[in-house]
Structure 1
Amino acid sequence: MFVGFDLIFVVLLGGLHALPTAYPKFWWLQLLCAAGLAHRVARAGIGRSAFLGWAFGTAWLCVGTWWLYVSMHRYGGLSAPLAGGAVFALSAFLALYLAAAMALFAMMRRNRLWLDALIFGGCWLLAELARGFILTGFPWAASGYAHVDSPLAALAPLVGVYGIGAVAAVVAALLVLGLRDASQPGGAAVVGACAAGIVLAGLAFLKLPTFSGASGTLQLALLQPNVPQNEKFAVEVLPQNLAWAADKLMAAKGDLVIAPETIVPLLPEQLPPEYWQPLLKHFQRGPQAGLFGRPLGNLETNYTNSAVGISRDTVKMTDGFYRYDKHHLVPFGEFIPAGFRWFTNLMNIPLGDFGRGPRVASSFPVKTERIAPNICFEDLFGEELAARFADEHVAPTMFANLTNIGWFGDTIAVDQHLHISRMRTLEFQRPMVRATNTGTTAVIDHTGRVTDALAPFTQGVLVAPVTGRVGITPFAWWAARFGLLPLALGALVPMLFALVLRRRED
């Protein structure tokens, strides 16, 4: 019965834990849920801790990524039981990282408040790093995103989203491990001191220096066509959608017009020259520049999910335009993992096997600014975006996310993706402009604030200014050179202390 209560308790906590990643004003809920897990594993054995961690993680990811069901069932044509089973199977598999982390915590803890809290944070960090890296990585709904509006957000330019998640885990563990030790002299005071320290530290971190300065300002026009996913490739409405795109691209005002991923959903061989050439010539004449999504290549050899940039300066480039090819592809949607073609064959996914672009790409220059495009969920991988900051002199001054999240309907995925983009702006102190099919099309400044936006699931053009930034944050500097390795090594430090302490005690 006690095991049953623990299971129900951690499943409930895991489900609630996912919600602040879409609704970050409830950031404190993430701390409470992580604290609840820490409380249940604080005295549990290795096997029990692993099971509770797995149950918590499975519920966390089922709630945090349930919208995958929409893409597979509503738009992919997969039956409801198979789509639901696939979401559960993926969540259960990815939760194994947290299961291993909680087992490691049970092995390493030493019943010392601060050391155990640091070990818990280190184990949590290793689990999130593994989920974000192994097998191409899927760090959606990582715990740090819950803190994009919390005091811990000030840590973003130093340690990034994973570091924030680790600090939150330490804070959560301090609260409950302090309660565990409250029967000892001064235990309750420790709990109060920890809580006060959290608030004071958060306020102090809010005064961290700014690592970047303004470069220049562009006037933007961001297109949101709001094409339902089931009409995106439909032959009967494709001419109408293409006409809307061409009209808005050439009529919009501003220095730069940006349209979302695959706003032109046809390969070059499928697109009539009388459609493409006027667009090309319009932006090549200037002074306006255009950046929009379209697939490039051909069906016979290779095709890519790309962004095309056109301006006066691209006339002499290959094919007359700047090209960015998506590097981090979506499993099952954009490439087929080995042994899973049978699964993708069950779904109706167009252009499902893309080629991969280079990891480090040049920026698209517009006036004084260097725009770094990323497509779809590529802004989920801050360490990959950081590769563009290895040389400060050519580092981007702003990001542009071109995406089509229409695959996931009117779900929490829309809000989650917006907050993912906001976290990237905090890490790099760079603005992010978002041109999306169905929403949220927005301008986010370098402090993570949404300055202008269109309502999701509406058709329109957002005209707004954006100011680029120069300068490198500590996170951008070390992630550009070492990736996530410093975080992984940092996670091991408290465990090394625990091993040394164990040897001395033995």
Structure 2
Amino acid sequence: MRTLLVLLAAALAGSLTLFAFAPYRLFWIMPLSLAALADLTQRHPQRAFWIGYVWGLAAYTSNFNWIYNSLHDVAGLPAWIALPLVLLLPAYLALYPGLAMWLSARVTAKPWQRWLLAFPALWELGEWLRGWVLTGFPWAAAGYSQITESPLAGYTPLGGSHLVTYLVALSAGALALMVHSGWKMRAGLLVAALAVWGNGFWLKSVEWTQPQGKPISVALAQGNIAQELKWSPENLEESLRVYYQQVATTRADLMLLPETALPLFLDDLPSGYLSMMEGQAQRAGMALATGVPRRTNDGRGYLNAVVALTTPGRPFFAKDHLVPFGEFIPVPGLIGWIYQFMNMPMSGFSSGGVNQPPLALAGEKIAFNVCYEDSFGEELTGPASQASIMANVSNLAWFGKSVAMSQHLQLSQARAMENGRYMLRATNNGMTAIIRPDGEIAAVAAPYTRQVLQGFAQGRQGLTPYMRHGNMPVLIGCAALLLLAMLLGRKHRP
């Protein structure tokens, strides 16, 4: 009975993390949840793995509940297949907090070494690993919960979301240690925590990059085309009409259309359609780029591309970091049979390649990424360093009316902070937004509406510390702290 109660407490702590992220943004829940996890492990070290695993299972199931919408409601997968698949991802991801707690309990027996040295390092290394292994899935990493409301968000330009994740875990470890310490230790930990959080508050006011040129007016299309209609031949004419009309009635320096806004291969679009779109944009003096599938040069594959329609030669960016099971099938011989139950067109994209150059539009260099790609901070720093503005085009209609689009917006906010650039988001049904270099939202369109969001963006130049060094300093630092904890633990072991 005691074990059951302990695991239920861990599950409760994990499930509450849903409210730490957007759209709720109660950032303080995350360090408290991790502190509860640490406290449970300190009291029951023999159950450390299962405490961490159950915490992770509850956390990731609650945060990624929208996977069911995608598989069942939109793709049409029967519930008897969809439900087990929904649990499959959290069941895998939960291994990382499980292992982090198991190792924390065994590296050293002294509480201060365990919770101030080993635990924060192991937690961050685990978060990094789950964002890398099997192509990675870093959504709901602890650091994102702090963007942008928490003082800890101020550290994002220095070490990216991974440094923030480490500091959240360190804060949680300090809270857990306070429960088991005397007043002197508590006072010291409180002063140190206030220093870290206070410094983060000050860092939020630092401007890491500099304005370049004059602001430009931008227009971001949100077509709000239902996913079940998007690829329907019967709805093709309506989709093309919606985006043509939005282009024809918009006046701005730069206009972006969402991911696969035009639901045909570029060279299969109706004769004259692109010329009409280009003509409307050029008469308005407007640079125009759109998401559209494009065949590879050899004709043997196809790309999830963003094409600069008003630039001579129509240069393009093609998505590189593809979504496994959604945009490509990792092991078709094993799981390909599932797709016969689903309406999932375009599930065989090819990668566009790393470090593609920015596209020149409206006098700016725009570093594009497509949908899921802005989950991976370090992958975007190279193109961003050559660009003055960043842009993400997405189609989140796959996830229905859920928290997924708000969580994705929060990821884009982190990328804007890491790179000190404006981030423009053009999405099919939300969250279309203009994000400033400090991560704050300058303008956002109401989700599930058809509109064109208009505002201004300013090109930026210069590099943040994170752009220069990436994740390596944080990872090396965590490895060093873990090694120190192991050496100290071995020294004091009887």
TM-score (norm 2): 0.94
Q: What's the counterpart of residue 401 of structure 1?
A: 392
The answer as to whether partners of 2:286 and 2:362 remain within 8 angstroms in 1 is no
Return closer, same or farther for 1:414/1:310 CA change in 2, 3 Å cut-off: same
- For residues 165 and 18 of structure 1, the distance between their equivalents in structure 2, rounded to whole angstroms, comes to 16
The answer to whether 1:288 aligns with 2:283 is: no
Partner Cα separation in structure 2 for residue 291 and residue 78 of structure 1: 33
Shift of 1:306: 0.4
Matched with 2:480 is: 493
Q: Deviations over 1:263-294 (max 9, x none)?
A: 10101343222222323455567732101100
TM-aligned CA deviation for residue 238 of structure 1: 1.6
* SS of residue in 2 equivalent to 1:237: helix
Contact 1:370 1:398 in 2 (8 A): yes
- Aligned to 2:354, the other structure's residue is in SS state coil
Of the candidates 185, 202, 215, which is equivalent to residue 212 of structure 2?
Answer: 215
Residue in structure 1 matched with residue 7 of structure 2 by the alignment: 7
Q: In 2, distance between residues paired with 1:18 and 1:129?
A: 20
For residues 145 and 279 of structure 2, the distance between their equivalents in structure 1, rounded to whole angstroms, comes to 45
Report the CA distance between 1:84 and its aligned residue. Answer: 1.9
Return the offset for 1:24.
5.4
Q: Distance in 2 between matches of 1:43 and 1:488?
A: 29
Which residue is 2:229 aligned to? 231
- 2:417 corresponding residue in structure 1: 426
Please say if 1:28 is aligned against 2:19: no
Does residue 502 (structure 1) correspond to residue 489 (structure 2)? The answer is yes
| Equivalent position to 2:274, from 266, 273, 276 | 276
For the pair 1:362 / 2:357, whether they are aligned, the reply is yes
State the percentage of identical aligned residues. Answer: 34
Contact 1:221–1:257 (Cα < 8 Å) also in 2:
yes
Structure 1 segment 55-454 matched on structure 2, within 5 A = 55-113=54-112, 116-148=115-147, 149-182=149-182, 186-207=184-205, 209-216=206-213, 217-283=215-281, 287-297=285-295, 301-311=300-310, 314-315=311-312, 320-338=313-331, 339-389=334-384, 392=385, 395-454=386-445
Distance 1:476 1:190 in 2: 34
State the shift of 1:186 in Å.
Answer: 2.3
Question: Is this contact kept in 1: 2:108–2:490, CA < 8 A?
Answer: no
Are 1:113 and 1:178, in contact at CA under 8 Å, matched by a contact in 2?
Answer: no
**Alpha carbons 2:304, 2:318 under 8 Å: kept:** yes
Deviations 1:366-386 (A, max 9, x none): 243111111111111111101
Distance (Å, rounded) in 2 between the aligned partners of 1:284 and 1:93: 50
In the alignment, is the contact (CA less than 8 A) between 1:283 and 1:310 conserved in 2?
A: no
- The count of corresponding residues between Structure 1 and Structure 2 is 488
The one-letter code sitting in structure 1 at the alignment partner of 2:150 is: S
SS in 2 for 1:422: helix
**Does the aligned pair in 2 maintain the 1:109–1:116 contact within 8 Å?**
no
How far does residue 342 in structure 1 lie from its aligned partner after superposition? 2.2
Distance 1:257 1:215 in 2: 20
Moved more, 435-444 or 234-243: 234-243
Q: CA deviation at 1:70?
A: 0.3
How many Å apart are 1:403 and its aligned residue?
A: 0.5
Note if contact 1:51-1:99 (Cα within 8 Å) is conserved in structure 2: yes
- Per-residue CA shift, 1:292-323, capped at 9, x if unaligned? 10000179621111000133xx32xxxx2011
1:154 CA drift (Å): 0.3
| Aligned partner letter, 1:374 | N
Q: Shift of the alpha carbon at 1:490?
A: 1.7
Report the CA distance shift for 1:206/1:280 in structure 2 as closer, same or farther (over 3 A).
closer
One-letter amino acid of the structure 2 residue matched with residue 496 of structure 1: L
Q: Distance in 1 between matches of 2:77 and 2:52?
A: 30
Rounded to whole Å, the distance in 2 between the matches of 1:356 and 1:100 is 32
* C-alpha distance after superposition, 1:9-41 (max 9, x if no partner): 011111111321224541001111011001111
Q: CA RMSD in A?
A: 2.0
Comparing 457-466 with 20-29, which one deviates more in the overlay?
20-29
The 3-state SS of whatever aligns with 2:232 is coil
Q: TM-score, normalised by structure 1?
A: 0.92
